[in-house]
Structure 1
């Protein structure tokens, strides 16, 4: 009898506990939903715009006393001593005993040694240093001090009739780029066309730390902050309003300029259309369950998600290194022109068409070999490979500012050239979350990451057509 009462008591206690749990459960669900709602809201809302100092000094403190705001003409030079040293180092590499590629590996393990030996031989014996120096100096070069940094830039003014309007265009390179990557596109941008009533006056700076531009004396000069330097450069040149084009890190700098200075940037064109914010990344991840719902036409540029993530895991090891210890790898690359070229060439292979890594030449036949060496020469002569790679470190360490740039919508009219093998792809609707006046995109079934270098005429034509749309948009406003 006592045992029966005890069992009933235990049953009653269990029912009470169950009822108590049932009473608490809705509260837990409500709290969970509230928490998730807040996280979604946090993802959706734009962070506060950073309060950037437009006059922050990036040079040595001692140079701030006497600020030189003059603009000086500049000329690229190859000294005899430098050329002798370069050829000696290239010859040393050619004499080295090298580890051969394994059978049928091409560029899948990195640089194809056999092909690269031919490249080094060409650089050492057939690259015409005198003629290429003339080529590099064909445009007018200048330097001026902006916020303590000597900024090197090319400025090309077109010769046109009075009835043709001249529009200022700022072209921003990325890594491993330089002013050189725009050389073949410039003639298309400054030459009048029958179907357009405008041409461009082109300004092509080298970003701080790249080539002949000075590097920052202190940490903190991330892409967004470089946007302030580039804006001040345009102000120095007398341009109160202008158009901006950027790819790779030039995209980050240019996009930041459009975000920070919407009354100055008349239009923004990019060949790297992406938004590094939580919302598009979340939709991209969820879209792996139903890819065509996110992107039905160019589905294979985003999905399968496992393949895209696999690609990034395999091909972005250099990025992790440069985001953490750029000076270490920079020191190694600064000791050998062959090492420098091998490191950079591999990036051109993957950026142009990753499928070409299975071929012996890596698809580098799409480029003029002299053009590639011109770019490498700028890095070698200036010893700027270490300082150029610091932009990766600054990009990640200055996350709050960079994150604000990606999450803050901009109304500046925007156009995106989307080449087939670009390293990242986002559909129009995602891009509009950031660029509220995205006037259009140009999808292509060819081309890769280095648009101006690989396809200069296509690149220039798209800028011209985009600016025509920008001007029409401004008139309608």
Structure 2
């Protein structure tokens, strides 16, 4: 117990001093150019072009040859996923990929929704743009920007898109229907990677803001988890008059005040003093095991990506099997940490003033209580403890996430109506 308290205090103090040292007062939108070479003098092409996923027999044959030539490293005896992706199970994945996976069918699935590309700040940005086929009388479709995370893509949203476009036919409330825009983060999927240094979440937010304006949306909702959470948050910070609400299934703060640091040691015993619910206590304590050790066990990739991305990229780009193991491992342990024991792996800038909805899933990599998040998200209108699910919420539990998005938007819309009505009576 004493060790846990001392460790938490020391770690908290280090985090607090490091992250508060360069805190900025405001987040400016800025501008950028991420294309090759110098920015041309001519105006950027703002046209939007249809896009379809395509592959060829030569590409598939090359992949098959690489899979046939794979060399596996033997795992430790009696180990499962405790040390990463178990190569014994990886052999089964590769065998399926090589002999059973239907590429033509998968390409058809990927082309299920309309896709487009447009040039923004010098790079091609890929996005899905899906409009509902039917909007109930008296309603209009609400634009919703959905942003994926790592390791992920717009494919995370393929299950949830139909639920949000036509909720009534899926057993959900039909009070709101959505027109959905899902962009690929630059460098992910079919979006071009930046060619210059310095691209960050604020830059991505600005690119997506320009995308929404280009599509004709002056007001819209945004939703995301992982990097999508941070990008959506930054978007709400740089363009609060355009973002009607931000819904997140992974919300974090990077600066803890003294009371919050104190809650690391005392929150388990005096939860009410720190605004903790019983669920917060269950998900956070013992802090050493559920937070510190979990971040150490699952955060190695983050330090590698932040410091040596080119080194990691060389190996991952060259080896399809290595890339599969690297990504699928996260779909195992970030869906449920207990899956490690199964053989199959079963920038804090300023506060966000726009309405925020938080869906807290039980097996998310890191849980943060509402009392912590309120310092950053000043107007939390919905905070939901989800019954099940982990890091890839839209992919794992599309019905649960869709239902939470719908109820969040309902609260925001009712609040906006009340404000307008109140103004009209003055």
With the shorter chain as reference, the TM-score category is 0.7 to 0.9
SS in 2 for 1:153: strand
Q: Secondary structure at the match of 1:291?
A: coil
Give the alignment partner of residue 319 of structure 1, picking from 293, 296, 302.
302
Work out whether 1:56 is the aligned partner of 2:32: yes
> What is residue 411 of structure 1 aligned with on the other side?
353
Distance (Å, rounded) in 2 between the aligned partners of 1:422 and 1:84: 38
Matches within 5 A, 1:288-307: 288-292=265-269, 293=271, 294=274, 295-298=276-279, 299-307=281-289
For residue 257 of structure 1, what is the aligned residue in structure 2? Answer: 235
| 1:195 shift after superposition | 3.9
User: Which portions of structure 1, spanning 4 or more consecutive aligned residues, are displaced by more than 4 angstroms?
Assistant: 42-46
- Superposed, 1:240-389 pairs within 5 Å as 240-279=218-257, 283-284=260-261, 286-292=263-269, 293=271, 294=274, 295-298=276-279, 299-307=281-289, 308-363=291-346
- Which residue in 1 is equivalent to 2:422? none
TM-score by length of 1: 0.78
- List gaps (5 residues or longer) in structure 2: 1-12, 420-426
Query: In structure 2, how many angstroms separate the alpha carbons of the residues matched to 1:145 and 1:108?
Result: 43
Asked whether the 8 Å contact 1:77–1:133 carries over to 2, the reply is yes
- Aligned residues of 1:111 and 1:346 also touching (Cα < 8 A): yes
Cα offset, 1:341, TM superposition: 0.2
Q: Confirm whether residue 183 of structure 1 aligns to residue 158 of structure 2.
A: yes
Q: Structure 1 residue 287: deviation in Å?
A: 2.6
How well do the aligned residues superpose, as a CA RMSD in angstroms? 2.2
TM-score, normalised relative to structure 2: 0.87
Count of aligned positions: 393
Other-structure match for 2:204:
226
- Give 1:445 deviation, angstroms: 3.3
> In 2 relative to 1, CA 64–285 (structure 1 residues): closer, same or farther, beyond 3 Å?
farther
What is the aligned partner in structure 2 of residue 429 from structure 1? 371
Q: Distance in 2 between matches of 1:237 and 1:414?
A: 24
Distance 2:153 2:262 in 1: 34
**Residue 178 of structure 2 corresponds to which residue in structure 1?**
200
Q: How far apart, in 1, do the equivalents of 2:188 and 2:22 lie?
A: 35
- Alignment deviations for residues 105-137 of structure 1 (CA, whole Å, 9 cap, x no partner): 110121111111111111111111001101100
What is the deviation of 1:352? 0.5
Deviations 1:280-333 (A, max 9, x none): 8x7145432342424341213112221121111122111111110111111101
Q: Return the offset for 1:184.
A: 0.8
Larger Rg: 1
8 Å CA contact 2:235–2:243 kept in 1: the answer is: yes
Aligned-partner SS, 1:207: coil
**Which secondary structure does the structure 1 equivalent of 2:107 belong to?**
helix
